[in-house]
Amino acid sequence: MAFSIAPCMSIMSRAARLARMLKVCAIPGPIPAHLIQAKCKQPRVGVYYAALGNLGAMDGSSMIRRNALRRWLLQRLLPQCLCVCVVFALLGPAARAQNRASLYTQADIEYGSQIFVAQCSGCHGVNGDQVSGVNLRSGQFRHVFSDNDLRSIVTNGIPGTAMPPFNLDPPELAGIVAYIRNMRDFDVRTVTLGDAGRGEALYKGTGNCASCHRLNGKGPRVAPDLSEIGALRTADTLKRSLVDPTGAMLPLNRSVRAVTRDGKIITGRRLNEDTYTVQLIDDQERLVSLEKADLREYAVLKTSSMPSYKDKLSSQELTDLVAYLLSLKGTK
């Protein structure tokens, strides 16, 4: 019956964080809950993990109630964790790396590291251990259990402490959470960070992006307007669009080609479509609405007219370009 499902995506990572928090299992990466179930032959383990993960999402629950429930669950989890350790010892590091990578994308982690450096390192230090009693790299938090908790604290701050609220947009929050969750395995000083300034030069120069995309009221409207793209997309999806434009293109943005009964050819980028009509912006930047019944031919082109930058730009240049695109938050 569901028209939507409750957000469950980070259950597995929550389970892993629990394990880290407990320091029962020396597991550097997230634990896939289904593995726990399958290998340990104790299905309830996964259930408890999930319950722990969900604590962060409880509506209006008091800290006391949450902590009591957490204690109750932890008592039941401790023996299971030992089993998990055995499983992971058997699985080896390859499996761990694979599972970790699937939870937070590298692009989000890298983007998050930039935000962290810009927004957080002033107090927390680049290593995240500068505030007395708070070591962000350890994965142990006093006020945080779930990713939602983390987002909430970053957004709202902690009243009565030096931690202020931050006004970050969703990609920034996704990045900061991804980075904080992976800080321990991520050394800021050795990673090449994308440079938005160099990215901007690529956008205008080698990349030739401005020949199709519009930015802050300037440039053509043939391709999607990128003025707010940094607030709409994550680092990962932006990188995918650059490397595989066709694969990453939203179906709505596909080009259409129509031939009217009197032979007129109309091409453009689709803005909307229904059973009887299609709306597009044509190559002359006119808004056009067509009745399909009036057309002799109508085709939706599934390949993007944007070139792939996979081989046109180096990986450093791609990182720079993504950094620039992420900086595009619109004019407010």
Partner 1 sequence: MIPPCRVTLLLLLSSFAACSLYAQVSSDRLVRAPEEPQNWLTYSGTYSSQRYSLLHQVDLTNVKNLELKWVFQAQSLQKFESTPLVVDGIMYLTQPPNDVVALDAKTGTVFWVYHHNPSPAARPCCGVVNRGLAILGDSLFMATVDAHLVAIDAKNGHSLWNITVADPAAGYAMTLAPLVVKDKVLVGVAGGEFGIRGFVSAYDARTGEQAWRFYTVPGPGEPGHETWRGDDWKHGGAPAWLTGSYDPDLNLTYWGTGNPGPDFNIDARPGDNLYSDSVVALDPDTGKLRWFFQFTPNDAYDYDSVQIPVLANMNWNGSPRKLLLWGNRNGFFYVLDRTTGKFLFGRPFVKVNWARGLDDAGRPMVTPQLPGAPTYPGQQGGTNWYSPSYSSHTGLFYLSAWEDYPTIFTGVPAQYKEGQRYTAGANTGPIPGGDTPGGPQRGPINTYTEAAGHGSVIAIDPHTGDKKWAFEMHDVTTSGILTTATDLLFTGGREGYFQALNARTGELLWKASLGGDIIAGPISYEVDGKQYISVAAGRGLFVFALRN
- Within residues 112-151, the interface with partner 1 by CB under 8 A covers none
Interface residue with partner 1 among 216, 300, 303, 310 (CB under 8 A) is 300
Q: How far is the CB of 317 from partner 1 (least distance, A)?
A: 23
Q: How large is the C-alpha radius of gyration of the chain? A: 24
Interface residue with partner 1 among 22, 86, 123, 252 (CB under 8 A) is 252
Q: How far is the CB of 114 from partner 1 (least distance, A)?
A: 22
* 64 near partner 1, judged by CB under 8 A: no
Site string for partner 1, 23-42 (x = CB under 8 A): ----------xx--x-----
* 327 near partner 1, judged by CB under 8 A: no
Residue 194's contacts (CB-CB under 8 Å, 6 or more residues apart) are 110, 114, 316, 319, 320, 321, 322, 323, 324
* 269 near partner 1, judged by CB under 8 A: no
Interface residue with partner 1 among 13, 54, 99, 227 (CB under 8 A) is 54
Q: Whose Cβ is closer to partner 1: residue 26's or residue 252's?
A: 252
* Residues 69 and 56: beta-carbon distance below 8 Å: no
* Residues 16 and 31: beta-carbon distance below 8 Å: yes
Distance CA 215, CA 221 (A): 9
Residue 154's contacts (CB-CB under 8 Å, 6 or more residues apart) are 165, 166, 168, 173, 176, 177
Distance CA 150, CA 225 (A): 32
- Within residues 179-198, the interface with partner 1 by CB under 8 A covers none
Residue 281's contacts (CB-CB under 8 Å, 6 or more residues apart) are 221, 222, 268, 269, 271, 287, 288
Q: Whose Cβ is closer to partner 1: residue 94's or residue 250's?
A: 250
Interface residue with partner 1 among 20, 124, 151, 254 (CB under 8 A) is 254
Interface residue with partner 1 among 27, 47, 131, 288 (CB under 8 A) is 47
Number of alpha carbons in the 13 Å side-chain half-sphere of residue 101:
7
Q: Whose Cβ is closer to partner 1: residue 154's or residue 223's?
A: 223
Compute φ and ψ for 271, nearest 5 degrees: -110, -30
Q: Whose Cβ is closer to partner 1: residue 33's or residue 109's?
A: 33
Distance CA 180, CA 318 (A): 23
* 48 near partner 1, judged by CB under 8 A: yes
- Within residues 222-241, the interface with partner 1 by CB under 8 A covers 233, 237, 240
Interface residue with partner 1 among 4, 62, 132, 331 (CB under 8 A) is 4
Select the span of 2-10, 159-167, 187-195, 306-314 touching partner 1 (CB under 8 A): 2-10
Three-state SS sequence of 295-309: EEEEEEECCCCCCCC
Q: How far is the CB of 20 from partner 1 (least distance, A)?
A: 19
* 299 near partner 1, judged by CB under 8 A: no
* 248 near partner 1, judged by CB under 8 A: yes
Residue among 55, 50, 13, 9 nearest 32 (CA)? 13
The alpha carbon of residue 91 and the mean position of all alpha carbons in its chain are separated, in whole angstroms, by 27
Q: How far is the CB of 250 from partner 1 (least distance, A)?
A: 5
Distance CA 219, CA 221 (A): 7
Binding site for partner 1 (CB under 8 A): 1-6, 8-9, 11-12, 33-34, 37, 43, 46-51, 54, 58, 233, 237, 240, 247-248, 250-252, 254, 270-276, 300
